[in-house]
Amino acid sequence: MSTLRWVRLDTSLPRNSKMLTLLNNRDGYRTAFVYVCSLAYVGEQGTDGFIPREALVLLHARKSDAQRLVEVNLWWEEEGGWRVNDWDEYQPSTKEMKERSARARAAAAARWNKRRERGNDESVQSAK
C-alpha cells in the first residue's frame, strides 16, 4: 500500500523576500528549484528538516546552491549538512506523521472489520 507524501508549500513563496533575493542572483532560479527539491527530500526521508551533505546530488544541487540558500537564510549550515529554516514551524514532524498514519491504518482496519462483520451477519440471516 502506497501513501501520499507531501509537504506544505506557502502560497506566498514566489514573493517571499528570501526567494526574491535568490531570484535576483545569477543561477537564482536554479537555486530556487533546489530549495523546493530540498523540501520534498526532507519530507520524503523524514529527517525533520535536516539535509546531509551527501544528499546534494539528489536535490540536483551544487555546493554553490547550498551556499546561496544559507546566505538568504532558507537553510542553516550545521555539522554534516544543512537544516531547512523553520521546517518544524510549518511542517509536521516525522513522529507526528507516523502517529497520523497509524491512526489512519487503525481507522481503515476498523471500517473493514465492521463491513466484514456486517457481511457475515447478512450471510447468517439469509441462511435462516
pLDDT tens sequence across 42-84: 988 989 999 999 999 999 999 999 999 999 999 999 999 999 9
For residues 22-44, average pLDDT: 95
For residues 88-113, average pLDDT: 77
Domains of the chain, residue spans: 13-90, 93-128
- What pTM, to 2 d.p., does this model score? 0.74
Residues paired with residue 82 on neighbouring β-strands, in sequence order? 51, 77
The per-residue pLDDT of the chain, averaged, comes to 87
pLDDT tens sequence across 110-123: 888 888 888 766 65
> What does the block give as the cell for 67?
551556499
Specify the pairing of strand 50-52 against strand 75-78.
Answer: unpaired
